[in-house]
Amino acid sequence: MRKKYWSLVLLLIVALVAWWWGRPKTANEAASAPIPTPPTTQKVNQTKAAGPAAPTLITSPTQLQAEPLAASLPSQFVRIEAPPPPPVVVPGSYVADTKPNPVAQEMEEISLNIRNFSLRFGGNPVGTNAEIIKALSGGNEAHVNYLPASKRINGNGELMDAWGTPYFFHANSATELEVRSAGPDRKLYTSDDLTAR
Amino acid sequence: MTPPNILTRRSFLRRSALFAGAGAAAGTLRDMKLMNSLMAAEPPTGYKALVCVFMAGGNDANNWIVPTDTTTYNEYAGIRGNLALPSSSLLPLRTGPSGSDPAYNYQGRTYGFHPGCARLQALFGEKKLAIVQNVGTLVRPTTKAQYNSGLAAYRPPQLFSHSDQVTQWQTSIPDAPPATGWGGRIADIYDSVANPTGKISMSVSLNGANTLQIGNLVSQYHVSTAGAVVMNSSGSGGGLMGSTGARQKAIQSIVDLNHANLQRQAYANVLDSAIFTGDLLNNNIAATDDPTDAPAGGYTTAQQAAGHAAGQTFKWNTGLTGIYNPALTGFTDGLGGFPNTGLGIQLKMIARLIAANGPSAFDMKRQIFFCSAGGFDTHTAQVDGAGFTNQPANAGGTHYGLMTQISEAMFAFQRAMEQLDGANPAKPYSTGVTAFTASDFSRTFPTNSQGSDHGWGSHHIIVGGAVDGGKMVGKLPAFAINGPDDTGTGRWLPTFSVDEHTATLAKWYGLGQSDIASVLPNIGRFNSTFGGGYLNFMKPA
């Protein structure tokens, strides 16, 4: 019993020491720490900013390593921030919109729910919008609800999009059910339609 | 101690093994039944071929064959909305080939074909075309109450899904994972008996791989609309094998070697057989290329008129103008040839393969052909946006073009078979070849404002000299949303199953009852309900 007690005390001490070493540093401690070396790219940018000075010819790898970067910088060192990264471009010249699109999010969510249903029951729900929504909302063998209650459901039991048009579910196969919103013009299969699968 | 309802790993494995064993046993039993059927099958006489014309995407059969009597037409127009075809545009089904023959009446209703199907109307009048109403995939005979129960025993899996319903139409076993198609199973049973010296596969596809023709023993052979794709030295740049043919000769030399390695030898045999079959097929169909074939773009109206006046028979050409030109409506012999459409040129190649068949060529007594046309998934632009404008004079609307393609191509094919008959009074080709349509499903009866969505039961046609034509079988669904035949939004609960449709074709093809039961393992479920599992659309043998 006594041995157990001492072991616990020892463990507590070790934990305290570990916390002390790993704790966030105070402002004073941070100021006294050595200045981190700027990345090589900043050296390149700086060299360009300072003017077209002739580069020093590096003749050996040891020379490259021996020369500290800070020493090679001119005295009028001015920090230049790297430019922000360009927007992510995916094939199809689509530029990712960083703003959340609630309609697209909702459709993705519906698709995800359908996938979860499919995983559970071995196939997508089938039929019309109302039949699919009924199946997703607990009208299934396990009475599991895959659809949050806050969704827009019309009097026919159909799930509607943000513009008040029922979503269209196009069953391509047991594993692929395309969710289609008619979009702002409220007409299916026009250029402003939104789809998720 | 494990609670009784908890599935332990051991019990899970034990149950899984049992299920796997049961599944394998069921498959083996089916294969053994097929083997028994194969051994018991009698060698057939004469030549017979089945030609499947698949309408990919789900054809709107509600607008293909439309009731024209006032009461039913009004029900139709009231629900279909802007999809409804004007009654004046429908082509009436008659009891004979003449426009003055009385209207065909079935179960108290008269009917008309879609305005794009003038050629099918003619074949119906000639009693070479029969219509099956409301056929579809069924696990077993099903009432609306049984469907509404939601039990899997009464619902084919993944109803209204394209790929699943295509597969189920072509396997005719909706309640089992797809393994083989019903055409492939027929070929497995029949090929070695019917075609003991046959030189090509019994299953030929003009539209690539399909489920219908998948068999365990007989592989489907894919032919392009220009013939077999072979390793030759023709074409720009010398084709696949170079302009001198040196590579082709080199490959043939390698194939001809005796290989000690069994796998190499088997591969060489397959390659050798493919080269032989391709060359054989192309050499033989070359003779069916009529030297009087139409010039590029088809015959002019004047040329066709001159040909018709000279009493020329059907040509193996490709030219659409003669069939469509209203000035040539008297040309009921089909002068003008196969339409230059996707389906037209597929059926033309099938006709050429049948024409080339013979003891010295392919030596086939039984064949199954597959061809397909796409674009039937008409969710939108099914008819003109303005509604009742889908007249023959106005070819607008997707479905008009699709229906016309089916009508013209199947008509040309039937005429080609009749031409092959020549003066033979037995009419061996036109009565030996039966073409039939199939599709994923029909479409919803009400409009979705621009088109229609995925349905279920569908009307289909069967064309050929052996067809008990000029008639309908089946039952028109009651045109009422949520009515006795509706499973919701105008998706008709099928009256007949694909099994019964297929069994009728298989019986005509020469299969005995036990063979049919092997090919269609579910057919027994339909015996008591629907007249022995056979429909009445083929003439008695």
Query: By the 8 A CB rule, do B189 and B37 touch?
Result: yes
> Are B158 and A128 in contact (CB < 8 Å)?
no
CA–CA min distance B24, chain A (Å)? 20
Q: What is the pLDDT of residue B285?
A: 86
User: What pLDDT, in 10s, does the model give residues A32-80?
Assistant: 444 443 333 333 333 333 333 444 444 444 444 444 444 444 455 556 6
Query: By the 8 A CB rule, do B371 and B437 touch?
Result: no
Q: What is the pLDDT of residue A59?
A: 43
> Are B450 and A128 in contact (CB < 8 Å)?
no
pLDDT exceeds 90 at position B318: no
Interchain CB contact of A46 with B (< 8 Å) = no
> Are A173 and B161 in contact (CB < 8 Å)?
yes
> Which of A32-41, B40-49, B233-242 has the lowest average pLDDT?
A32-41
For residue A196, the surrounding DSSP H or E stretch is strand A194-196
Question: How many Å from the N-terminal Cα to the C-terminal Cα in chain B?
Answer: 68
User: What pLDDT, in 10s, does the model give residues B54-104?
Assistant: 999 999 999 999 999 999 999 999 999 888 998 998 999 999 999 999 999
Dihedral sign (CA B415, B419, B421, B427): positive
Average pLDDT over residues B491-508: 95
B147 pLDDT band, cuts 50/70/90, is very high
pLDDT exceeds 50 at position B393: no
Which token pair is B252? 């043939």
Query: By the 8 A CB rule, do B204 and B220 touch?
Result: yes
For residue B379, give the nearest of A124, A172, A189 by CB distance: A189
pLDDT exceeds 80 at position A3: no
Work out the percent of chain B whose per-residue pLDDT is above 90.
Answer: 54
Give the integer Cα–Cα distance in Å for B493 and B498: 13
> Per mean pLDDT, which of A172-181, B303-312, B467-476 is the most reliable?
B467-476
Residue B440 DSSP one-character state: S
Q: What is the pLDDT of residue B44?
A: 85
> Are B450 and A189 in contact (CB < 8 Å)?
yes
Q: What is the pLDDT of residue B415?
A: 84
Average pLDDT over residues B482-491: 93
> Are A188 and B161 in contact (CB < 8 Å)?
no
> Which of B125-134, B169-178, B259-268, B278-287 has the lowest average pLDDT?
B278-287
B6 pLDDT band, cuts 50/70/90, is very low
Higher pLDDT, B319 or B365: B365
Q: Return the SS3 of A18.
A: helix
Average pLDDT over residues B157-174: 95
Q: What is the pLDDT of residue A17?
A: 82
For residue A126, give the nearest of B160, B379, B449 by CB distance: B160
Short-list B158, B207, B161, B181, CA closest to B54: B207
For residue B161, give the nearest of A130, A172, A188 by CB distance: A172
Q: What is the pLDDT of residue A18?
A: 78
Q: What is the pLDDT of residue A183?
A: 92
pLDDT exceeds 50 at position A27: no
Which token pair is B19? 């299920």
For residue A126, give the nearest of B161, B448, B449 by CB distance: B161
> Which of B111-125, B127-141, B238-252 has the lowest average pLDDT?
B238-252
Short-list B516, B492, B493, B514, CA closest to B504: B516
For residue B373, the surrounding DSSP H or E stretch is strand B366-373
Higher pLDDT, B423 or B486: B486
pLDDT exceeds 70 at position B133: yes
Q: Taking the domain A102-196, which CATH number applies?
A: 3.30.700.10
pLDDT exceeds 80 at position B297: no
Q: What is the pLDDT of residue B18?
A: 47
Q: Which residue of A has its CA nearest to B381?
A: A189
CA–CA min distance B67, chain A (Å)? 26
Query: By the 8 A CB rule, do A133 and A155 touch?
Result: no
> Which of B106-110, B164-168, B247-251 has the lowest average pLDDT?
B247-251
Short-list B65, B61, B453, B403, CA closest to B395: B403
Q: What is the mean pLDDT of chain B?
A: 83
Q: What angle do CA B141, B142, B146 make, to 5 degrees?
A: 145
Q: What is the pLDDT of residue A79?
A: 64
Q: What is the pLDDT of residue B203?
A: 97
The position carrying tokens 């590096």 is: A58
Q: In the A/B pair of chains, how many CB contacts fall below 8 A?
A: 49
Average pLDDT over residues B169-188: 96
User: What pLDDT, in 10s, does the model give residues B437-446?
Assistant: 999 999 999 9
Q: What is the pLDDT of residue B451?
A: 87
Q: Which residues of A touch B381 (CB under 8 A)?
A: 189
Interchain CB contact of A123 with B (< 8 Å) = yes
> Which of A109-113, B9-13, B186-190 has the lowest average pLDDT?
B9-13
Give the integer Cα–Cα distance in Å for B138 and B120: 28
Domain ranges of chain A: 102-196
> Is the complex ipTM more than 0.85?
no
